[in-house]
Amino acid sequence: MTRRTVLSAGRLPGRAEGSGGGRRMAAGAGSGFTPQIIKYSVLQSQAPRAASGRAGRRRPPRRKRIRPGMPTLTRDRGLPSEEKWTLKGGPNTVGRSRENDVVVAHVSLSRHHARFDVEDDRVILVDLKSLNGSFVDGLQVQQCRLKNGDRVQLGDIFFDFEEERVAKQASRAAYEQDMKRLLEMGAGGEASQSALRIKAAAPEQRAEDKLKLLLTVSQMLTSPEPLDTLLPKIFDLLFQIFEVDRAALLLADEKTGALEPRLARAVGGPMGEAPIYSQRIVQHAFEKGAGLVLGDAVADPRFAGSTSIYGAQIRAAMCVPVKSREKVLGALYVDHLTIPGRFQQEDLEFLEAFAGQAGIAVENASLARQLSEEAVRRSSLLRFFPPTVIGPLMESPDFGQKPYDAGVTVLFSDISGFTALSSGRKSSEIVALLHRYFPVMAEIVFRHEGTLEKYIGDALMAIWGVPHAKPDDADRALAAALEMQQAMVGLNAARGEEPELAIHIGLNSGPVTFGNIGSHDYVQFAAIGDTTNVASRVCNLASAGEVVLSEATRSRLTKDDVPLAALPPAMVKGKSEPIQAYRVVRAEAPEPAAETPVPPAPAP
């Protein structure tokens, strides 16, 4: 059995306290036959240590763990942009900085985002206090032991974690060998009346074989897989274990609760579109939550008048609920067309236990899908919103789908002289520059609880007031603008001999329409309205190193600790009247004569 050890797991956004770190994979007993065997633990055996220093006793040779292959991380599997990294023994760091072992220049990653510790018999993922977090199969983690096939998300970037496939294939072969051995075991003698393919044996041996068989089934279904892969595997096991002619699996629709056929198969292969089961039989098992066995379905008075039974001339049949814990997920139906009384009570009990294992696997597949969808949605939200508001947004699945009106403060930032700076340089150099610049600016926006609306070339647009408005949104936007200017000192110091960069910033406040603009499938939150256009024009009024704000933003400030100077009224594109703007007065910058000091904004 593959075991997952989460050493320190974070809570999924939006989950209530005490929820145990998000959704968990189902584990519990199915109904019917020996449910207690589901609660088991398979531990790696360790050879006993020989006592040292004792005469006449040799230390047994210590097994050396040999990895069949070093683990790998793959990004964009199957695409032209696919990248693959082989992790070395020991620590492997991942992040934007070139100092990392795995360098991914993406704005959602921190400079030193996470570390993969490759040990002799395990790989541990450790989050390095990153801004946007580390996730394994949709669950946010601080530390987590990885297993083959895990989906790792760092920021907005997804990786497939793999160890050498030989180990996985060896485990699969071992399970299949166990199945073959168990299904061929027996003390000989006359064939059993049971439809189980275990040969007749002493009762004690037969009971033990059934326990081992069900444990092997559990091991083979333990890893969450998509339903399209999982359901055929369940049927492969079913036809190996039982002597049946046909089988069908129905699952309840998550929204309507109605039973829907998901897979049907006969001994010879797939079935046609016509249902092979009796609707009354499967509905009975589903609604009652209990299995039933029919010795001769045609003659059973409980289903008298059933056209599906008479039409198919069903003789022996069994149907059991597919459960996970106490939740009924669907129904599993099997039949035999020629021999009445083919199924015994022993068969029904084992089929109920088998369906319990199938139910756990089905629910795990459903939870894995939901976690993956939540991870994608969370990743999309993290592109725009600060981590502090992601939890409430995750609780509102329809957030942003219907645009709404809001009063906001908009920040526009541009790199001064960017066109001249780009001239004559390689595009790869410009991209590398922006990869260093944008993450620093984005972190500042999020630190002041702003929403990162978009990047436009070298420009950045952020807004305050959505998704949640605060009385001091304008103050937060201004504080972010000042910190962005200050951050340029550190960025320029890191550039060494390269020409210094400067930015100019504009702020404006007013009404916008905000929401997911465009497609439901492609999330792109945007603020639409004249307010954003004017913010861009105000940005153009600023010189390199300056912060300029409109009268609308100045009037919303709740603090007067930032000195401002009025600029001459200016005409801007799209406006028939000049607008009044104000420049932040910095101590080291002399004020132009045309500017006049501005009194503090009146208290709101």
CA distances from 522 to 106, 337, 525, 564 (A): 19, 50, 10, 41
pLDDT digits (tens, 9 = 90+) for 526-568: 888 999 999 999 999 999 999 999 999 999 999 999 999 999 9
H-helix segments, 104-161: none
What SS3 state is found at 59?
Answer: coil
Identify the DSSP state of 190.
S
User: Are 436 and 335 part of one and the same domain?
Assistant: no
Whether 541 and 420 map to the same domain: the answer is yes
**Tokens at residue 442, please?**
């984005």
Whether 315 is covered by a domain: the verdict is yes
HSE of 166 in the Cβ direction (CA atoms, 13 Å)? 7
Q: Report, in angstroms and rounded to the nearest whole number, the Rg of the chain calculated over CA atoms.
A: 33
Domain check: are 415 and 349 in the same one? no
- Cβ count within 10 A of residue 88: 12
**DSSP H helical ranges for 289-344:** 307-312
Tell whether 64 is covered by a domain: no
Domain-located, residue 49:
no
Cα separation of 275 and 592, whole Å? 85
DSSP code of 56? T
Coil/strand/helix, residue 72: strand
Domain count, the chain: 3
Beta strands 151-154 and 157-162: pairing type? antiparallel
Tell me, what amino acid is at 349? E
Q: Which two tokens stand for residue 63?
A: 């097994």
- Rounded to whole angstroms, the Cα distance separating 222 from 235 reads 15
Determine which of 3-7, 180-184, 241-245 has the lowest per-residue pLDDT on average: 3-7
Q: Which two tokens stand for residue 570?
A: 């200016």
Residue 463 and residue 564 share a domain: yes
Per-residue tokens: 274: 């016509």
> Which CATH number fits the domain that encloses residue 550?
3.30.70.1230
Single residue among 163, 195, 227 that ends a domain in this structure: 163
- Please report whether residue 298 resides in a domain: yes
> How do strand 123-127 and strand 134-136 relate by DSSP bridges?
unpaired
pLDDT in tens, 190-202: 345 788 888 656 7
Instruction: Look at residue 33 and tell me if it is in a domain.
Output: no
Residue 458 pLDDT exceeds 60:
yes
220 pLDDT more than 60: yes
Over the stretch 120-165, which tens digit does the pLDDT of each residue have? 778 999 999 998 899 998 889 999 999 988 999 999 899 999 875 4
End-to-end CA distance of the chain: 64
Domain that holds residue 470: 397-584
Q: Do β-strands 90-95 and 102-103 pair in parallel, antiparallel, or remain unpaired?
A: parallel
**pLDDT exceeds 70 at position 603:** no
Residues 6+ apart with CB under 8 A from 149: 160, 161, 162, 168, 223
CA pair distance 305, 317, nearest whole angstrom: 17
For the domain that residue 100 is a member of, what is the CATH number? Answer: 2.60.200.20
Arithmetic mean of pLDDT, 28-40: 35
- Within 8 A by CB and 6+ apart from 226, the residues are 365, 369
The CA distance from 542 to 588, in Å, is: 17
- The confidence band for 43, taking pLDDT boundaries of 50, 70 and 90, is very low
Sequential DSSP letters for 236-275:
HHHHHHB--SEEEEEEE-TTT--EEEEEEEETTEE--SS-
Of 163, 193, 222, the one marking the end of a domain is 163
Distance CA 151, CA 135 (A): 8
What local confidence, expressed as pLDDT, does residue 30 receive?
39
Q: Are residues 431 and 562 in the same domain?
A: yes
Nearest CA to 36 among 353, 316, 305?
A: 353
417-444 b/e (C-beta count within 10 Å ≥ 16 → b): ebeebbeeeeeeeeeebbebbebbbbbb
Helix crossing, 345-382 with 227-241: angle to 10°?
Answer: 170
Together in a domain, 348 and 418: no
Same domain, 491 and 363: no
pLDDT at 313: 61
Residues 421, 309 share a domain: no
Supply the pLDDT for residue 312: 58
Q: Residue 95: CB partners within 8 Å, gap ≥ 6?
A: 102, 103, 104, 109, 110, 111, 112, 113, 114, 128, 130
Residue 16 lies in a domain: no
Per-residue DSSP letter, 570: B
Phi then psi for residue 493, to 5 deg, are -65, -35
Residue 590 lies in a domain: no
Residues 6+ apart with CB under 8 A from 481: 411, 413, 505, 507, 547, 584
Position with higher pLDDT, 456 vs 338: 456
**Residue written as tokens 């009990």?**
349
349 shares a domain with 414 = no
Task: For residues 233 and 135, state if they share a domain.
Answer: no
Q: Render pLDDT for 48-102 as a digit per residue (tens, 0 to 9).
A: 333 344 444 444 444 334 344 578 999 987 676 788 898 988 899 999 888 888 9
Which one of 351, 369, 387 terminates a domain?
369
- Whose tokens are 């589901």? That residue is 38
3-state helix, strand, coil in the chain (%, to 5): 30, 25, 45
Helices 165-184 and 227-241 meet at what angle, rounded to 10?
30
Is position 112 within any domain? yes
pLDDT higher than 70, residue 332: yes
CATH for 328: 3.30.450.40
User: Do 542 and 492 fall within a single domain?
Assistant: yes
Answer yes or no: is pLDDT of 169 > 80: no
As to burial, measured by CB atoms within 10 angstroms (0-12 exposed, 13-18 middle, 19+ buried), residue 397 is exposed
pLDDT at 449 over 60: yes
* Contact call for residues 468 and 405 (beta carbons, < 8 A): no
Residues 6+ apart with CB under 8 A from 440: 487, 490, 491
Reported as a single tens digit per residue, the pLDDT across 389-430 is: 666 666 666 665 678 899 999 999 999 999 888 887 888 888
Same domain, 245 and 295: yes
